[in-house]
Structure 1
């Protein structure tokens, strides 16, 4: 890669357990480097991030070369170190660290105070989203560190996000092949990622080819969430800039408040329409030889004085989809949300139907007299119905969508597949209590989904224990920092466990 990186980091530099390798990408707000675990000689095959265990410090401990000091006043502290494999589902990921990763370095305090405040805000946005959401089509974050190195003032205080390593981006793919034959399938995966984001109440804000990352197996994940924003009612507030060619026309002249630009999910729908046209035809849907000319055309189009000029190469089905995505106004685009768009895109691409995501609604506590009856009915369903899960392009089956809303679900296989047990209240004995989970008597739990929403009593996280009646057994007895429990999962988090634990009880708690 040519050009000077935004954050220069020498090859071989140590950050926590990681050793920096070559530069992968660099933009206005950070630089991404390849990294490997220190002491790992040469290139090796990836080890799945969801399986096995590793030796690691307890929560709050800090490895050499990094600190847990906060990136800025009022921000979420950068967490150095990692949790034991069975305990990490609720925060930065699950299972042991992979041998390879990508380190995203965000600039330091060598900037002006105003620049520094802005960069901290961008870092916080990305860290907040990635620490709260885990979905198959979003890039994973394993950890967040802060560099503590006064001898290198250009790096001292830098926030470093430890991310899943991608092999490239859709931008590099399109540079090599303007009409990739698997473009429609990739667009279906991009749309699935948007659906997962919007369903969780977030807007990406900067969807473009460079932010669609391609994994080793060729599948796509959404990345770079610096501009992402969480919805507050009908709007979210994002930084006052994005990539012009992919920006919805109403945002090109929008007013900017102290909180940023008001943005809605329909802005991502517009960006997807532009992206889809580019992937399928190699051209933009509005005329102009430069970005400025195309932005002017977008403004004229929104005001009714310019028409879309979709390529004649587009098949009818894709033409209809892109036309709807590029509707002139937010109100017209609002009729085509990411969920309905995903079904249409999958049909056009000829890919399998994605799993429905669970509905997110306020938790309700069931009356005691009804718990036994409803639990028994749920058990019958869970043990007799063959659920329709899906196979994604990575060969993984995802079945988390089976978990009822406002419940916690444990699965006998990774990624929410296999047999499932679900509860909406505490259970002191999985094998002989009012709700039973017989398969855990002779095999471990391998994945979990906490599908709870806000509870009137403030209980949203779930802690689980190897013993009955919420008691520690075996190795749990010595785990004082984990309150002698096997593990804990926060609201709306899902992921794989190490696959060696068979809990026998669980209870709802305020937080992990």
Structure 2
């Protein structure tokens, strides 16, 4: 590793983190550095022999920088811990470096990710089979948006190419979960892929408001770059192209796409790069048009585990004490879990572990949730008591199926295991009966207490005490007038 090149986190080759040995750097951005790694210890069952370690320096820097970095790390850990998709990079586990002898690394958060062969940004033009690549990117965006998330930083560097030729979306530091029609994200993005309305956004204490249409704009820019090697807006610098985007959004200039675009693609890109967010094409319609233009069939849906294995993570302080709750994750059904008291090894390569066996149990984790059901749990990570439904329920206490413990105990975690072939596959939950927003929640101004897309599993922050839930087509919705009046009241 060259000492001249700036890295967000500099880790020497051969450094040990849990069962992983750091190899060469793969990529680095403003907030994180990714290294190749090989597994040298036993680790949890099912861990691969090769992986990518994403280091976020959450243990050093100034207090203000720390808050920002911890928020970015928390976003990515939450999304990858809750969503499983064939088009999203897979996260195997998270670790926290505990190495006081090396303060530059001590406290860093490490995400152990699926190893890719490279990013789209590193592929020399022209991109082989660009239509198929763009179709898979569109599929990944559709999966994210259906689950109620916005990527927030789609660009070639965050599109990874796997060894088998498939595509994965990655880098979810800016990702945000929708709350109604909007989400909130830090006011950081890549200018060339940012829609005009977000180039100079209004930012409050929660960040900038963002919609799925921001990802659609980014896809339009990315598609133009992949297909022609040029940006769709003129300018020799990013600043000049931002100025061109602003003039275009105001109607002072027209969009002039490259004549080198293949048939069908100019119309798609124009639909993505509409001047206003309301005029941009929806993600599902975009995916259909991209697949038609690319001449590819819908990518096969990855097998869906009806009784899924819990994610490969461990109980640990993910953000060095910054997060309010630890992320507890099982290491496999009927196997031993490992609790890493000091999860980083010293420079001499000596790992520091204490293995704590966990007896096999049939009531362990999310896998208890029946197929084609939505399940709520009294403890984090699918533990404790469980209530499951296959349909909506207006009243958990006196409906067709009751959930007695929810009357005086908050819901701590949820698994939406509903079949994604259903027309209604999301689940929205409410504090009151009859799908009403009883009570007051400062964090959520929308009518719902929360909403989880299909295949989502994860912990709920705060004291969620829902008493009803309904199946919905999508977690992205436009509030009713009654919901608006209630929120104003």
- Which range, TM-score by smaller chain? 0.5 to 0.7
The 2-side partners of 1:227 and 1:284 are apart by 22
Q: Please, which runs of 5 or more residues in structure 1 have no aligned partner?
A: 40-54, 57-81, 86-95, 355-389, 391-396, 401-407, 412-445, 464-488, 495-508
2:111 aligned residue: 161
SS of the counterpart of 2:415? coil
Confirm or deny that 1:105 pairs with 2:55. yes
Q: Which has the higher helix share?
A: 1
1:212 aligned residue: 159
2:289 aligned residue: 344
Residue correspondence of structure 1 range 388-427 to structure 2 within 5 A: 390=300, 398-400=302-304, 409=306
1:414-436 Cα shifts (integer Å, max 9, x gaps): xxxxxxxxxxxxxxxxxxxxxxx
The 2-side partners of 1:460 and 1:322 are apart by 41
**Count of residue pairs the alignment pairs up:** 336
The 2-side partners of 1:130 and 1:141 are apart by 6
The 1-side partners of 2:112 and 2:137 are apart by 22
2:131 aligned residue: 184
1:302 aligned residue: 249
SS of the counterpart of 2:230? coil
The Cα shift of 1:398 comes to: 2.7
User: Runs (4+) of structure 1 moved beyond 6 Å?
Assistant: 456-460, 509-512
The 2-side partners of 1:6 and 1:458 are apart by 36
The Cα shift of 1:455 comes to: 5.8
The Cα shift of 1:245 comes to: 0.1
1:133, 1:493 within 8 Å by CA — same for their partners in 2? no
1:10 aligned residue: 12
Q: Of 189, 211, 221, which aligns to 1:264? A: 211
Q: 1:38 to 1:350 in 2, by over 3 A?
A: same
Q: 1:12 to 1:181 in 2, by over 3 A?
A: closer
The 1-side partners of 2:417 and 2:105 are apart by 33
The Cα shift of 1:337 comes to: 1.5
1:128 aligned residue: 78
Q: 1:339 to 1:150 in 2, by over 3 A?
A: same
The 2-side partners of 1:8 and 1:324 are apart by 42
Q: 1:451 to 1:32 in 2, by over 3 A?
A: farther
Q: Normalising by the residue count of structure 1, what TM-score does the alignment of the two structures yield?
A: 0.61
Report 1 or 2 for greater relative contact order, CA contacts < 8 Å, sequence distance ≥ 6.
2
2:376, 2:415 within 8 Å by CA — same for their partners in 1? no
The 2-side partners of 1:317 and 1:26 are apart by 36
The Cα shift of 1:10 comes to: 0.7
1:58-99 Cα shifts (integer Å, max 9, x gaps): xxxxxxxxxxxxxxxxxxxxxxxx4xx5xxxxxxxxxx0000
The Cα shift of 1:452 comes to: 3.6
The Cα shift of 1:343 comes to: 1.0
Q: Of 35, 38, 43, which aligns to 1:36? A: 38
The 2-side partners of 1:198 and 1:206 are apart by 14
The 1-side partners of 2:37 and 2:306 are apart by 35
Q: 1:491 to 1:287 in 2, by over 3 A?
A: same
